[in-house]
């Protein structure tokens, strides 16, 4: 195991580039797998004949009523305090598995094998989990770390292009807020990345995981620096809701809007702004903010559960690779 890059944060090892088969060395026979129907269809043959709880795919599975249903299904598998949950799937499965394990019989251990790029570089790292309550995203959840994360890029070979681009949006976000060198590297290697070249994917995932782990380990409870990871997400969440876009697509537009704001405030220079747009565009992500309804977006941003009074904490870039938190009063 030690030959491969393993990043540790908060005592959680994140194995990047490890073949899925190694997972059997990391879990015991009390393991119950949680996955979704798509992952089961593509990769079920890898899951051996372990007890597997399959949920339908989709964000609407992240509900309290589904969670109750999953508890009954766990009990039917004979689960008890000695059980271990292994989530194999995208962000939805990671969020569900982490939350279910955190509250089932007051908490049992769990681990993740993320199978989407988004989950590999984002959702599986950082210890946040939870479910939605109607329109309120992640309204109920906990901070709790998995025992390990095992990231095998082979899973990405079956990922639809749009899901892949969603994950790339988060990678580009990591580069924008933390590392000009990583941004350069993505620019240079984008073609091979889009072709899902395994060696390039390993570097991509490793760099993003490293950045996210660094930030999260310095600020696990999001009191300060961790907010930088919200770059593109203030407007992004509103765009996701209002325009019904996928998360990564909305974050792409959210990053463009944040950069427009930084440009107006003379923080970011126009050539850097254009460079970010070009990269997002080439990655297959939307960048045209012209058609967005800014007034309604603003109203939604104000209603965000994380807002404090009139001021909204925006993450803005000073340059590619350097972000700051700016409290901004938004006017109508
Ligand atoms: P996220 O984008 O946050 O990871 P999901 O968990 O909803 O969100 O995953 C996105 C979609 O991709 C879902 O429909 C899921 O079933 C599907 N999926 C997950 N992993 C794979 C994979 N390796 N190959 C193909 N489809 C996958
Ligand atoms: Zn995100």
**Predicted confidence (pLDDT) per residue in 204-224, tens digit:** 999 999 999 999 989 888 888
Protein residue whose Cα sits closest to atom 25 of ligand 1: 159
Kindly identify the ligand whose nearest atom is closest to the C-alpha of 167. 1
Which distant-in-sequence residues (6+ apart) come within 8 Å of 285 by Cβ?
165, 168, 169, 172, 248, 249, 252
Protein residue whose Cα sits closest to atom 19 of ligand 1: 90
SS3 301: helix
pLDDT at 262: 96
What is the rounded distance in angstroms from the CA atom of residue 315 to the CA atom of residue 332?
Answer: 20
Q: Separation of 302 CA from ligand 1 center, angstroms?
A: 30
Handedness of CA 3, 151, 50, 34 (dihedral sign): positive
pLDDT at 135: 85
What is the rounded distance in angstroms from the CA atom of residue 174 to the CA atom of residue 179?
Answer: 7
Active site residue 30: no
Active site residue 278: no
Q: Which atom of ligand 1 is nearest to the CA of 117?
A: 4
Kindly identify the ligand whose nearest atom is closest to the C-alpha of 236. 2
Residue 20, both tokens: 């899925």
- Count of other CB atoms within 10 angstroms of residue 90: 29
Active site residue 237: yes
Pocket of ligand 1 (CB under 6 A): 36, 38-39, 42, 57, 89-93, 115-116, 118-119, 123, 155, 158-159, 163, 166
Mutation choice for ligand 1 from 163, 196, 247, 251, CB with most ligand atoms inside 8 A: 163
Q: Separation of 121 CA from ligand 2 center, angstroms?
A: 10
pLDDT in tens, 13-58: 999 999 999 999 999 999 999 999 999 999 999 998 899 999 999 9
Residue 3, both tokens: 């030959």
Active site residue 207: no
pLDDT at 299: 87
- pLDDT per residue, tens digit, the chain (332 aa), is 445 789 988 889 999 999 999 999 999 999 999 999 999 999 999 998 899 999 999 999 999 999 999 999 999 999 999 999 999 999 999 999 999 999 999 999 999 999 999 999 999 999 999 999 998 889 999 999 999 999 999 999 999 999 999 999 999 999 999 999 999 999 999 999 999 999 999 999 999 999 999 999 898 888 889 999 999 999 999 999 999 999 999 999 999 999 999 999 999 999 999 999 999 999 999 999 998 999 999 888 887 655 556 788 899 999 999 999 998 886 65
Percent of the chain clearing pLDDT 90 (strictly above) = 85
Question: pTM of the full predicted structure?
Answer: 0.94
Mutation choice for ligand 1 from 44, 47, 57, CB with most ligand atoms inside 8 A: 57
pLDDT in tens, 184-203: 999 999 999 999 999 999 99
Q: Which atom of ligand 1 is nearest to the CA of 38?
A: 16
Active site residue 212: yes
Q: Pick the closest to residue 170 from 131, 211, 203, 139 (CA basis).
A: 211
Of 174, 237, 240, 259, the catalytic one is 237
CA atoms within 13 A on the CB side of 239: 27
Active site residue 264: no
Active site residue 170: yes
Q: Pick the closest to residue 76 from 32, 126, 141, 120 (CA basis).
A: 32
Mutation choice for ligand 1 from 38, 62, 149, CB with most ligand atoms inside 8 A: 38
What is the rounded distance in angstroms from the CA atom of residue 324 to the CA atom of residue 225?
Answer: 9
Kindly identify the ligand whose nearest atom is closest to the C-alpha of 166. 1
Q: Pick the closest to residue 39 from 22, 53, 26 (CA basis).
A: 53
SS3 179: coil
Q: Separation of 251 CA from ligand 2 center, angstroms?
A: 7
Q: Separation of 93 CA from ligand 1 center, angstroms?
A: 9
pLDDT at 311: 81
Active site residue 233: yes
Which distant-in-sequence residues (6+ apart) come within 8 Å of 178 by Cβ?
211, 214, 215, 228, 321, 323
What is the rounded distance in angstroms from the CA atom of residue 262 to the CA atom of residue 269?
Answer: 8
pLDDT at 2: 47
pLDDT at 8: 87
């Amino acid at each position: 195991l030690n030959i491969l890059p393993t990043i540790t944060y908060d005592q959680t090892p994140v194995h990047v580039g490890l073949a899925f088969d190694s997972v059997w060395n990391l879990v015991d026979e009390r393991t119950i797998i949680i996955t979704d129907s798509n992952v089961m269809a593509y990769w079920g043959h890898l899951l051996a004949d372990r007890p597997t709880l399959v949920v339908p795919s989709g964000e609407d599975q992240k509900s309290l009523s589904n969670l109750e249903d999953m508890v009954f299904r766990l009990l039917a598998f004979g689960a008890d305090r000695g059980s271990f949950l292994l989530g194999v799937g995208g962000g939805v499965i990671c969020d569900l598995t982490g939350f279910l394990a955190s509250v089932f019989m007051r908490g049992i251990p769990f681990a993740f094998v993320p199978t989407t790029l988004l989950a590999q570089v984002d959702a599986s790292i950082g210890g946040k989990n939870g479910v939605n309550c109607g329109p309120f995203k992640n309204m109920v959840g906990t901070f709790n770390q998995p025992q390990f994360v095992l990231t095998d890029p082979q899973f990405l070979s079956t990922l639809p292009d749009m899901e892949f681009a969603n994950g790339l949006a988060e990678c580009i976000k990591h580069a924008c807020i933390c590392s000009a060198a990583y941004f350069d590297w993505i620019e240079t290697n984008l073609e091979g990345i889009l072709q899902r070249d395994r060696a390039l994917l390993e570097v991509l995932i490793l760099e993003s995981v490293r950045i996210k782990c660094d930030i999260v380990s310095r600020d696990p409870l999001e009191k300060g620096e961790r907010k930088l990871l919200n770059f593109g997400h203030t407007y992004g969440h509103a765009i996701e809701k209002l325009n019904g876009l996928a998360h990564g697509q909305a974050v792409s537009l959210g990053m463009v809007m944040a950069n427009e704001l930084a440009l107006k405030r003379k923080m970011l220079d126009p050539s850097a702004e254009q460079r970010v747009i070009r990269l997002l565009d080439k990655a297959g992500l939307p960048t045209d903010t012209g058609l967005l309804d800014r007034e309604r977006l603003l109203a939604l941003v104000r209603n965000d559960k994380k807002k404090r009074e009139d001021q909204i904490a925006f993450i803005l870039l000073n340059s590619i690779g350097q972000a700051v938190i700016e409290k901004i009063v938004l006017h109508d």
